Amino acid sequence: MHIGFIGLGRMGGHMASRLLDAGHTLTVMDLSDAAVKALTDRGAERATTAKDVADACELVFASLPNPPIVLETALGANGVIHGSKIKTFVDLSTTGTKVSAAVHDGLKAKGVSALDAPVSGGVKGARDGTLAIMVGGPKAAFDEHQSVIATFGKLFFLGETPGAGQTMKLINNLISCAHIAVTAEGMAMGARAGLDPQLMIDVLNVSTGASSATRDKWPRSVLPRTFDYGFATALAFKDLRLCLEEAEAMGVPMVVGSSVRQFLSITNQLYGPDSDFTCMAKTAEVLAAIDAD
């Protein structure tokens, strides 16, 4: 199948590569020449605009960093909405429900189906095809393309309401970041008390304090001090902001979530937007006056 893919960053590049591995023909577009070359060297065709991708392919994926870029890619002057061939647009980005609804409505008016399909699992999941993909939108479009989307991992159809997948993704990232924040504080407390960090994680992982943070993020990225799990602090902060804004609009209090957002804000200021979100552990160490490095 000839498929379009827009956005070849840390996640998108791996997902596009998996489509090539599965035998599909690709037309790709990204602002990074190096990212595009990595795919064209393997046989993908290059496009210069989102419209060009949508002129070439009936099915187009996008994996992009923020809501404004998604809106421009979908509905802008050179967006996929002006493509002559596109029939289905699948947005793998995390944008929130408002953008998903706008994209859905805009493309529907042109006879194009839109699925919001944000993913979770980090760079490793994108590379290995083990992502969780949370899909919302027209069931007919999902049914038609689910075998292709499943190239990236395990599918969950959340419903036909535009943005249903986005709501689930924001909830997931809220809980994931909360696990990191509270683990960071607990580990900092233990360090001040003189406990061995590795032994603490070993205890937590067979106790009721276990979570994705203790099982995966600390062993992989925090204990070795690499802080390279694969998700930027700025993106995590963006997702928490979107989550809290949507919760507030629904009248749902986010007492813990507000604290996690503040934790990410401090981490963003201390270590920069391109730092890994596991640097929240370093933020806790700084606040506890621990010199862990």
Assigned token pair, 93? 């980005």
Cα distances (Å, whole numbers) of residue 251 to 41, 243, 247: 50, 12, 6
Give me the helix-helix angle, 164-192 and 197-204, nearest 10°: 130
* Contact yes or no for 187/165 (Cβ under 8 A): no
77 contacts: CB under 8 Å, gap ≥ 6 = none
What are the two backbone dihedrals, phi and then psi, of residue 82, each rounded to the nearest 5 degrees? -95, 5
Quote the CA–CA distance of 86 and 102 in Å, as a whole number.
Answer: 18
169 classed as catalytic: yes
| Catalytic-labelled residue, pool 37, 87, 98, 169 | 169
- Looking at the chain, the number of H-run helices and the number of E-run strands are 13, 9
The catalytic site residues sit at: 169
